[in-house]
């Protein structure tokens, strides 16, 4: 394949600048929000003096105060710092948990849609089987088999989530395959790989980015659900879902244990949704030209 | 004096947006369509011909506003409210669009679709409306109409769907029919039949017809008068035969010369350049950048429509030169 | 007599669909292309006229093997393309390029004009890496676009400009055959004439063979000397160089001529056709017979073959051939 570096970086640059400059408050607010959260998570050690895992029983179950803005849990741990450190885990869950299926699902969908025939047949059947199961049930089943923990979570989500991406990409490829610029590429003697990755991929990938945003939210919630069931991240590592689970018995007495991690999930989810909405808008506007 | 059902378009303007971001795309179009006659609007993309046609029924895209007057049957349609406008659409003024597939509801049987129009506007019951619908289908040339009334749009070919669309448009007995590129999506032979059908129905009912097309041949075969649009303005208007035999505007002449049938084998005679954005008006004549006859005077200020004789007008100051070119 | 550049022999292509409800007695749909044969010399212009469903686009795709014919051969420059493997086909393909109808979907929206053209040159190593930019500028000039167009994206260009880019892209591959499949049908009239002139000039300057496909009889006549008329997947008449359209003998060609809207033809002379009132094409015999005013008994039984007629040109019509045997 020819050298693509200069033109590709120009193209990516063009895309990224468009993300910021085109009108639409959703995307900008969403992106800003996500960046702020990421910043806060990274800067956690600077923002809080408390170690999120260290016990401090004398200060257990204290309501929000100046010393502990989000209160403390039954072990005396500062919830504010646990939320901040938890952000690292949850953002990771969201992003990595989406990145792997996105890449795998896209590649599979590309090949499936481009070649059709028996390849598409087999992949299609596999997709049908996976899709027949409810997402959470499958994930829980796989995690239960592999043992709880973050790695099991990533494996489970990857094994299940890729189908959604493959389906979307396959659909887009099927419709794009007949477009004349693809026929022209074939006429120009381009290899299949070049057509798939250089011509089809850039045009079909925007469709999955929007879905990916909502998938990030779903992953965070799934991680939280698993944590809630005790199958996710293990104590004492802070993770919002685990924190909510721990606060389950204290809802009436120590509402802050559930409220703040819950709020964190909602807020981050909202930001990613906004980015997704904004992206959908941008794509629609670009394609409409 | 205007008869009751004459259509008089008077200084029609259409623009989008407001304030500083206002873009005017139709600039003062005026023409008359006497009751029972046929008028063809031709132009290329961006000329504004479709928009002009749709403005009559105020079917503008979102953000569009209208100015000027559209007088029909003594009423100024441009000034009517939405509710009153609805009473005109489909009943007194019918419309046919380009794509018959999207004009028909795919989950409604065609007989029902036509009957619905009849029932609503004629205020008659379902039974009589249904038999009137079958009659309408026969009138537009659909064989075995009683049986085919039960079919869905996808069971018809493109030409037959357009016939059904015509049936729907005429079901409420309109006195004016607007046809926006009605045959563009059809094959040549079917196109000829549909045009013949429209022409025959028009004559039978004494209906007025406004036909919009980019195809000079189509308009020439059906319309008595032609208006040529360019960059949102009428640049020439006149009776069909005269206009085509001796055009009085350089654009019309250029169009006729660039047609494939305008010569034998080999290179054609195109108009150089490309049609402009109708919202970006130059100070003078919009066609000047592409015109062989353009002079300083052409570029200085907007050119008005200059009457050539009782029935013809041209928006060109060199109209005399063009007349001599034909006869010289 | 040199071998033709392109020889299409008996190409047939069906888009299979099982008859509704199955059963062998069900009516077989006619193939999209039914035994089409034609030949094209180097540097020659051939016109193909047909309406939708005539198979003209399928023909273009089968010639270039974008679709594989069910039967028949496509011999390009001595090589039967239907026997080639994927790799060899990809190499040969470069020599026959297609310009499609829709300027909006013919260009990859994410590639700039310059990138699209450069890609052709780089993939096939047609020029040295250092010469790519200047060749791109040269190609743009050949199609009447400024060198600055290289930085633009398709979305910034008009229909006519995009079509020029498509032509430039086709030329970048240095083809010997160019197929224009309704290449000007989606353009405004005044732009059509510009692009048609461009095609004529390029064909003349570069010595390209050109197959010009269109539904518009007048456009085809302007461009091509030899014209093939297609109906229902078959070539039904082949008008040779020098034969005027008006002398065409096949009833379908005559119908096309009569129906084509023409400036200067007064109102009311459009002929009666009833073309779309006929439900489907008959499965046996001449496909045109349901609408043909000259149909008689043989038409219902046997598909008329494409053979030399009384005027010396190829025609597929029993009635016309009947005249031949009479004379």
In chain B, what residues touch C216 (CB-CB under 8 Å)? 188, 260
What is the pLDDT, as a whole number, of residue A12? 52
Residue C325 has pLDDT above 70, yes or no: no
**Which pLDDT band holds residue A33 (cuts at 50, 70, 90)?**
confident
Q: Which tens digit of pLDDT belongs to each residue from A51-86?
A: 877 787 888 888 888 888 888 888 888 888 888 888
| Ordered strands of the C209-214 beta sheet | C96-99, C177-181, C209-214, C45-49, C226-231, C234-239, C314-315, C307-308
Whether B292 and chain C come into contact, CB under 8 Å, resolves to no
What is residue C55's three-state secondary structure? coil
Percent of chain B predicted with pLDDT > 90: 33
Contact B32, B6 (CB under 8 A): yes
Average pLDDT of span C185-203: 91
In chain B, what residues touch C262 (CB-CB under 8 Å)? 217, 220-221, 261
Residue A232 in tokens = 């996710």
pTM of structure? 0.84
Same domain, B254 and B206: no
Average pLDDT of span A140-147: 89
For residue B47, what is the domain's CATH number?
3.40.50.300
Q: Is the dihedral of CA B163, B168, B169, B174 positive or negative?
A: positive
Average pLDDT of span A218-246: 81
Whether B200 and chain C come into contact, CB under 8 Å, resolves to no
Of residues B158, B261, B269, nearest to C218 (C-beta): B261
The span from the CA of C238 to the CA of C235, in Å, is 7
Residue B11 forms part of a structural domain: yes
**Which of C227, C235, C192 has its CA nearest to residue B261?**
C192
* Pairing status of strand C79-80 against strand C71-76: antiparallel
Q: Which residue of C has its CA nearest to B158?
A: C276
Degrees, nearest 5: CA angle B180-B182-B183: 140
- Report how far apart, in Å, the C-alpha atoms of C50 and of each of A110, B204, C47, C179 are: 36, 34, 10, 15
Q: Which tens digit of pLDDT belongs to each residue from B251-286?
A: 999 999 999 888 878 888 889 888 888 777 778 888
Same domain, B217 and B277: no
Whether B266 and chain C come into contact, CB under 8 Å, resolves to yes
Residue C18 in tokens = 């099982």
Question: Do residue C276 and residue B143 have CB atoms under 8 angstroms apart?
Answer: no
Question: Do residue A187 and residue C169 have CB atoms under 8 angstroms apart?
Answer: no
Residue C200 has pLDDT above 90, yes or no: yes
Are A and C touching by the rule of 3+ CB pairs within 8 Å? yes
In chain C, what residues touch A3 (CB-CB under 8 Å)? 122
Residue B82 in tokens = 């939405």
Mutate which: C158, C161, C193, C262, vs B, most B CBs within 10 A: C193
Domain boundary among B162, B196, B223: B223
Strand partners, B225: B39, B239
Residue C23 has pLDDT above 50, yes or no: no
Of residues C52, C200, C219, nearest to B187 (C-beta): C52
Are C and B touching by the rule of 3+ CB pairs within 8 Å? yes
Residue with tokens 């880019």: C165
**Which of A105, A110, A108 has its CA nearest to residue A196?**
A110
Contact C325, C302 (CB under 8 A): no
- Which backbone phi and psi does B70 adopt, to 5 degrees? -130, 95
**C38: closest CA of chain B, how far (Å):** 22
Degrees, nearest 5: CA angle B236-B237-B242: 105
DSSP run (H or E) holding B227: strand B225-230
The span from the CA of A199 to the CA of B229, in Å, is 40
Q: Is the dihedral of CA B137, B141, B146, B150 positive or negative?
A: negative
Of residues A3, A180, A203, nearest to C106 (C-beta): A180
Residue C230 has pLDDT above 90, yes or no: yes
What is the pLDDT, as a whole number, of residue A4? 37
Contact B53, B39 (CB under 8 A): no
Degrees, nearest 5: CA angle A67-A68-A72: 140
Contact B95, B89 (CB under 8 A): yes
Contact B49, B43 (CB under 8 A): yes
Residue B229 forms part of a structural domain: no
Of residues C91, C102, C122, nearest to A189 (C-beta): C91
The domain in which residue B210 lies consists of 7-223
**Which pLDDT band holds residue A254 (cuts at 50, 70, 90)?**
confident
Which domains, and CATH codes, for chain C?
6-17+27-95+175-326 (3.40.50.300)
Question: Do residue C197 and residue B267 have CB atoms under 8 angstroms apart?
Answer: yes
| DSSP secondary structure letters along B62-116 | TTEEEEEEEEETTEEGGG--HHHHHHHBTTTEEEE-S-HHHHS-TTS-HHHHHHH
Same domain, B156 and B303: no
Outline where DSSP puts E strands in C31-114.
33-40, 45-49, 71-76, 79-80, 96-99
The span from the CA of A223 to the CA of A22, in Å, is 33
What is the pLDDT, as a whole number, of residue A7? 45
* C263 Cβ neighbours under 8 A, 6+ residues apart: B216, B217, B220, B244, B256, B259, B261
Strand partners, B38: B209
- Report how far apart, in Å, the C-alpha atoms of B249 and of each of B41, B239, B255, C135 are: 15, 14, 10, 41
The span from the CA of C203 to the CA of A254, in Å, is 84
- Identify the CATH class of A70-288: mainly alpha
Q: Which tens digit of pLDDT belongs to each residue from B96-133?
A: 988 877 888 889 999 999 998 888 877 788 888 899 99
**B143: closest CA of chain C, how far (Å):** 7
Question: Do residue B217 and residue C193 have CB atoms under 8 angstroms apart?
Answer: no
What is the pLDDT, as a whole number, of residue C15? 81
Mutate which: C146, C267, C292, vs B, most B CBs within 10 A: C267
The span from the CA of A244 to the CA of A247, in Å, is 5
Q: Which of B 16-35 lie inside 8 A of C, CB atoms?
A: none
Prediction ipTM score: 0.86
C133-148 residues labelled b (16+ CB within 10 A) or e (exposed): bebbbbbbebbbbeee
Residue with tokens 């807020």: A267
Give the CA diameter of chain A. 76
What is the pLDDT, as a whole number, of residue A19? 57
Question: Do residue C222 and residue B266 have CB atoms under 8 angstroms apart?
Answer: yes
Q: Which residue of C has its CA nearest to A1?
A: C123
Three-state SS letters, chain A: CCCCHHHHHHHHHHHHHHHHHCCCHHHHHHHHHHHHHHHHHHCHHHHCCCCCCCCCHHHCCCCCCCCCCCCECCCCCEHHHHHHHHHHHHHHHHHHHHHHHHHHHHHHHHHHHHHCHHHHHHHHHHHHHHHHCCHHHHHHHHHHHHCCCHHHHHHHHHHHHHHHHHHHHHHHHHHHHCCHHHHHHHHCCCCHHHHHHHHHHHHHHHHHHHHHHHHHHHHHHHHHHHHHHCCCCCCCCCCHHHHHHHHHHHCCCCCHHHHHHHHHHHHHHHHHHHHHHHHHHHHHHHHHC
Residue B60 forms part of a structural domain: yes
Q: Which tens digit of pLDDT belongs to each residue from B17-44?
A: 888 888 889 999 999 999 999 999 999 9
Q: Which residue of A has its CA nearest to C115?
A: A7
Distance spanning both ends of chain B, measured CA to CA: 38
Strand partners, B71: B8, B76
Average pLDDT of span C208-223: 92
- Which backbone phi and psi does A250 adopt, to 5 degrees? -115, 20
In chain B, what residues touch C191 (CB-CB under 8 Å)? 44, 270, 274
Same domain, B203 and B303: no
DSSP summary character for residue C275: G
Of residues C90, C155, C169, nearest to A289 (C-beta): C155
Q: Which chains touch A (3 or more CB pairs under 8 A)?
A: C
In chain B, what residues touch C196 (CB-CB under 8 Å)? 260, 268
The span from the CA of B262 to the CA of B244, in Å, is 12
Contact C115, C108 (CB under 8 A): no
Contact B216, C218 (CB under 8 A): no
Average pLDDT of chain C to the nearest whole number: 86
Mutate which: C119, C159, C162, vs A, most A CBs within 10 A: C119
Whether B255 and chain C come into contact, CB under 8 Å, resolves to yes
Average pLDDT of chain A to the nearest whole number: 82
Q: How many domains does chain B have?
A: 2
Q: Give the other-Cβ count within 10 Å of C186's Cβ.
A: 19
Tell me whether residue C205 is exposed, middle or buried, using C-beta atoms within 10 angstroms of its C-beta: 0 to 12, 13 to 18, 19 or more. exposed
What is residue B327's three-state secondary structure? helix
Q: Which tens digit of pLDDT belongs to each residue from B209-224?
A: 999 999 988 998 899 9
Mutate which: C276, C279, C290, C292, vs B, most B CBs within 10 A: C276
Contact C6, C75 (CB under 8 A): yes
In chain A, what residues touch C106 (CB-CB under 8 Å)? 180-181, 184
DSSP run (H or E) holding C193: helix C189-206
Question: Do residue B260 and residue C216 have CB atoms under 8 angstroms apart?
Answer: yes
**Which of C102, C87, C103 has its CA nearest to residue C57?**
C102
The span from the CA of A170 to the CA of A126, in Å, is 14
In chain A, what residues touch C167 (CB-CB under 8 Å)? none
Same domain, B171 and B255: no
Q: Which tens digit of pLDDT belongs to each residue from C52-91?
A: 888 898 999 999 999 899 999 999 998 999 999 988 998 8
Of residues B141, B188, B215, nearest to C259 (C-beta): B188
Question: Do residue C110 and residue A191 have CB atoms under 8 angstroms apart?
Answer: no
What is residue B25's three-state secondary structure? strand
- Report how far apart, in Å, the C-alpha atoms of B130 and of each of B87, B144, B171, B204 are: 22, 15, 11, 22
The span from the CA of C258 to the CA of B205, in Å, is 27
B66-105 residues labelled b (16+ CB within 10 A) or e (exposed): bebebbbbeeebbeeeeeeeeebbbbbbbbbbbebeebbe
Degrees, nearest 5: CA angle C38-C39-C45: 110
Residue A104 has pLDDT above 90, yes or no: yes
Residue B27 in tokens = 């600039």
Q: Which residue of B has its CA nearest to C225?
A: B265
Q: Which tens digit of pLDDT belongs to each residue from B230-253?
A: 999 999 999 999 999 899 999 999
Q: Is the dihedral of CA C102, C106, C111, C113 positive or negative?
A: negative
Residue A36 has pLDDT above 90, yes or no: no
């Amino acid at each position: 394949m020819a050298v693509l570096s200069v033109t590709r970086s120009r193209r990516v640059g063009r895309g990224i600048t468009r993300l910021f400059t085109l009108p639409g408050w959703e995307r900008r607010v969403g992106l800003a929000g996500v960046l702020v959260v990421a910043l806060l998570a990274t800067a956690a050690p600077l923002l809080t003096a408390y170690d999120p895992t260290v016990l401090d029983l004398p200060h257990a179950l204290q309501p929000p105060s100046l010393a502990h803005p989000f209160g403390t849990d039954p072990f005396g741990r500062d919830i504010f710092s646990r939320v901040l450190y938890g952000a690292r885990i949850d953002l990771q869950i969201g992003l990595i948990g989406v990145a792997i299926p996105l890449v795998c699902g896209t590649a599979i969908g590309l090949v499936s849609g481009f070649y059709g025939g028996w390849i598409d047949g087999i992949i299609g059947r596999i997709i049908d089987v996976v899709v027949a199961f409810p997402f959470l049930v499958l994930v829980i089943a796989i995690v239960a088999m592999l043992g709880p923990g973050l790695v099991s979570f990533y494996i489970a989500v990857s094994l299940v989530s890729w189908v959604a991406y493959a389906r979307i990409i396959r659909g887009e490829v099927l419709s794009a395959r007949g477009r004349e610029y693809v026929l022209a590429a074939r006429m120009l003697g381009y290899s299949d790989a070049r057509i798939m990755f250089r011509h089809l991929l850039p045009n079909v990938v925007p469709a999955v980015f929007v879905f990916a945003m909502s998938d990030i939210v779903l992953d965070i919630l799934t991680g939280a659900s698993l944590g809630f069931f005790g199958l996710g991240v293990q104590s004492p590592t802070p993770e919002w879902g685990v924190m909510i689970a721990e606060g389950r018995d204290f809802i009436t007495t120590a509402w802050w244990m559930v409220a703040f991690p819950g709020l964190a999930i909602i807020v981050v989810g909202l930001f990613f949704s906004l980015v997704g909405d904004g992206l959908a808008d941008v794509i629609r506007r670009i394609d409409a030209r | 004096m205007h008869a009751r059902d004459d259509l008089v378009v008077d200084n029609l303007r259409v623009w989008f947006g407001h304030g500083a971001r206002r873009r005017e795309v139709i600039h003062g179009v005026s023409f008359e369509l006497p009751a029972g006659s046929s008028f063809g609007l031709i132009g290329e993309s961006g000329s504004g011909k479709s928009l002009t046609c749709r403005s009559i029924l105020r079917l503008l895209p979102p953000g569009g506003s209208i100015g000027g007057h559209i007088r029909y049957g003594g009423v100024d349609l441009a000034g009517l409210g939405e509710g009153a406008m609805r009473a005109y659409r489909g009943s007194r003024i019918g419309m046919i669009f380009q794509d018959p597939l999207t004009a028909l509801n795919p989950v409604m049987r065609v007989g029902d679709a036509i009957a619905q129009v009849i029932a609503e506007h004629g205020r008659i019951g379902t039974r009589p409306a249904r038999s009137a619908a079958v009659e309408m289908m026969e009138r537009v040339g659909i064989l075995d109409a009683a049986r085919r009334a039960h079919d869905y749009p996808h069971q018809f070919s493109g030409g037959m769907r357009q016939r059904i669309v015509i049936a729907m448009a005429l079901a409420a007995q309109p006195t004016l029919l607007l046809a926006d590129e009605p045959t563009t999506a059809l094959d040549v032979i079917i196109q000829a039949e549909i045009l013949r059908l429209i022409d025959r129905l028009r004559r039978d009912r004494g209906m007025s017809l406004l036909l919009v097309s980019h195809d000079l041949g189509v308009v020439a075969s059906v319309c008595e008068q032609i208006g040529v649009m360019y960059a949102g303005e009428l640049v020439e208007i006149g009776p069909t035969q005269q206009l085509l035999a001796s055009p009085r505007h350089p654009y019309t002449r250029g169009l006729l010369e660039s047609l494939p049938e305008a010569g034998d084998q080999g290179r054609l005679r195109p108009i150089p350049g490309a049609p402009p954005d109708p919202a970006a008006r130059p100070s003078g004549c919009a066609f000047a950048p592409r015109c062989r006859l353009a002079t300083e005077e052409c570029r200085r200020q907007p050119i008005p429509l200059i009457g050539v004789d009782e029935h013809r007008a041209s928006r060109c100051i060199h109209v005399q030169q063009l007349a001599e070119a034909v006869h010289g | 007599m040199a071998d033709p550049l392109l020889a299409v022999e008996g190409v047939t292509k069906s888009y299979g669909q099982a008859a509704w409800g199955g059963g062998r007695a069900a009516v077989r749909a006619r193939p999209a292309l039914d035994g089409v044969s034609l030949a094209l010399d180097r540097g020659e212009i051939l016109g193909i006229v047909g309406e939708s469903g005539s198979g003209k686009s399928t023909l273009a795709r089968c010639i270039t093997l974008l679709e594989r014919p069910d039967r028949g051969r496509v011999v390009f420059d001595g090589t039967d393309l239907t026997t080639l493997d994927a790799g060899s086909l990809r190499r040969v393909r470069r020599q026959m390029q297609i310009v499609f109808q829709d300027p909006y979907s013919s260009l990859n929206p994410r590639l700039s004009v310059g990138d699209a053209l450069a890609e052709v040159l780089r993939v096939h190593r047609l020029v040295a890496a250092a010469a790519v930019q200047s060749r791109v500028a040269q190609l743009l000039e050949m199609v009447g676009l400024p060198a600055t167009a290289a930085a633009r994206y398709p979305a910034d260009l008009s229909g006519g400009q995009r079509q020029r880019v498509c032509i430039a892209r086709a030329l970048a591959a240095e083809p010997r055959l160019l197929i224009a499949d309704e290449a000007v049908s989606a353009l405004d009239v005044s732009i059509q004439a510009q692009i048609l002139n461009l095609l004529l000039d390029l064909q003349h300057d570069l010595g390209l063979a050109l197959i010009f496909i269109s539904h518009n009889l007048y456009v085809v006549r302007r461009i091509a000397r030899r014209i093939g008329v297609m109906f229902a997947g078959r070539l039904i008449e082949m008008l040779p160089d020098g034969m005027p359209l008006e002398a065409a003998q096949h009833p379908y060609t005559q119908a096309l001529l009569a129906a084509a809207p023409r400036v200067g033809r007064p109102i009311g002379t459009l002929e009666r056709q009833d073309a779309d009132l006929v439900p489907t094409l008959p499965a046996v015999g001449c496909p045109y017979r349901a609408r043909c005013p000259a149909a008689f008994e043989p038409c219902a039984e046997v598909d008329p073959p494409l053979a030399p007629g009384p005027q010396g040109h190829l025609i597929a019509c029993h009635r016309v051939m009947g005249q031949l045997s009479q004379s």
